[in-house]
Amino acid sequence: MKKMIFAALLAFVVLAAGCTQPAAPGGGQQANGTVLQNATAPTVASVMVTGFSFQPGSIMVAKGGSVTWTNQDPVPHTITGADFDSGNLDRGKSYSHVFDKAGTYEYHCTIHTSMKGTVVVQ
Ligand SMILES: [Cu+2]
């Protein structure tokens, strides 16, 4: 009897291991953040500004929640969206913004315009 339970457990472990997500095909594009499902969005989220990029480039936060960006680069960056702007954010400095309405918010750095990010508010 014990052997059967062990076998069942083993089968479960093997099945569970088989379910780990494979690498996203096609370069891991996230369909513009539109299909992020109903996962519970956190009320607080953070983005690192590092290596002239926003990490992660797309982040989810609950309606009324805040996102905090921290600049880890040795040069200033800005966090600039349609209705929010950090101004020049020096190394080590943080900027937070509260998102009161659901939607997808694109933002960028005005100094380095190739730096772009997205906040998805649920
Ligand atoms: Cu920048």
Transcribe 54-104 into DSSP letters.
Answer: EESSEEEE-TT-EEEEEE-SSS-B--EESS-B---B-TT-EEEEE--S-EE
The CA 103 to ligand 1 mean position distance, Å, reads 24
pTM of the model: 0.69
In a domain, 2, yes or no: no
Structural domain containing residue 62: 41-121
The rounded distance, in Å, linking the Cα atoms of 73 and 44 is 22
pLDDT of residue 40: 86
In a domain, 14, yes or no: no
In a domain, 71, yes or no: yes
The CA 46 to ligand 1 mean position distance, Å, reads 17
The CA 89 to ligand 1 mean position distance, Å, reads 9
The CA 108 to ligand 1 mean position distance, Å, reads 8
Structural domain total, the chain: 1
The CA 45 to ligand 1 mean position distance, Å, reads 20
CATH number of the domain that residue 79 is part of: 2.60.40.420
Q: What is the pLDDT along the chain (122 residues), one digit of tens a residue?
A: 455 544 444 444 444 444 444 444 433 444 444 444 556 899 999 999 999 999 999 999 999 999 999 999 999 999 999 999 999 999 999 999 999 999 999 999 999 999 999 999 99
The CA 88 to ligand 1 mean position distance, Å, reads 9
In a domain, 84, yes or no: yes
